[in-house]
Amino acid sequence: MIGISKNKEYICSVDLAKKRDYTTIQIYKQSMDFIKHPLETRRPDVAVAFLDLVYQVKMQAVRYTEQSKIIRDLLNRVKLLENTQLLVDGTGVGEPVIDIMREDGMTPIAIVFTGGESVNPVYAEFDSLFGKKSGSIRGIQVLKEICVPKNDLVHAGVLVMEQGRLRLARNLAHEEDFKRQLTAFKGKVNEKTKRVKYENENNNIHDDFVVTYLMASWWASYSRASKTKDLTVAKEENSSWNPLDFV
């Protein structure tokens, strides 16, 4: 069984367009930096795992086959080649587009948002995912998708911001749009189920950049969970979350 690689430096997070929406791509670099304290404080230096947003793009009315080629060309850049985990929102139109990506030689992991309470990796036969072009490899199971509770994704995003670990590169193409979406993204309690539903309060504002951010934040903590206890995602509900409180 082939699982996940936990050593890649970059995360490419993709939210695929539905009908007239935008496909959005954000690339994050996972950076370990030391926070130094003044000598007189006698406090030890602290290693902090930052999530640096280094690239943004959004596209509309582009064929899925062309989108796949754009992502493939992007990931073939020198710094990203073989050093980037590709995450794709598999909740809506994701599955057929992810198949196209695999045909184009990429190894995406679909993140399927659920209302459940546990994270469930889903494995499939290598041949069924990548076809016989790659050669017949029978009996080998590879990671196809991960079903993740939306609460876990949101809490991962909250944790990164609360700990001051989100950093934005200069001259990002859609920085203001990203911040606008974060501001509008709220949790609302369903009085019947008592569950929190997270969505944008303003229907005129999309949440595509928020989706890509949450996937990247969750993956950063999930892929280090076995090594870094302090990055465990909290389970408490936070219906009044305003992300920009922490930026």
Mean pLDDT of 212-221: 95
Q: What percent of the chain has pLDDT over 90?
A: 47
pLDDT tens per residue across span 186-207: 654 444 444 555 555 555 557 8
Closest listed residue to residue 210, CA positions, set 201, 63, 61 = 201
Q: Which residues are 46's β-sheet partners?
A: 35
Statement: the pTM of the whole predicted model exceeds 0.75:
yes
What is the full DSSP assignment across 159-204? HHHHTT-EEE-TT-TTHHHHHHHHHHEEEEE-TTT--EEEEESSTT
Closest listed residue to residue 180, CA positions, set 155, 199, 212, 206 = 206
Examine the pLDDT at 230 and tell me if it is beyond 50. Answer: no
Show the domains of the chain with their CATH numbers: 10-176+208-234 (3.30.420)
pLDDT tens per residue across span 124-141: 888 788 875 555 566 688
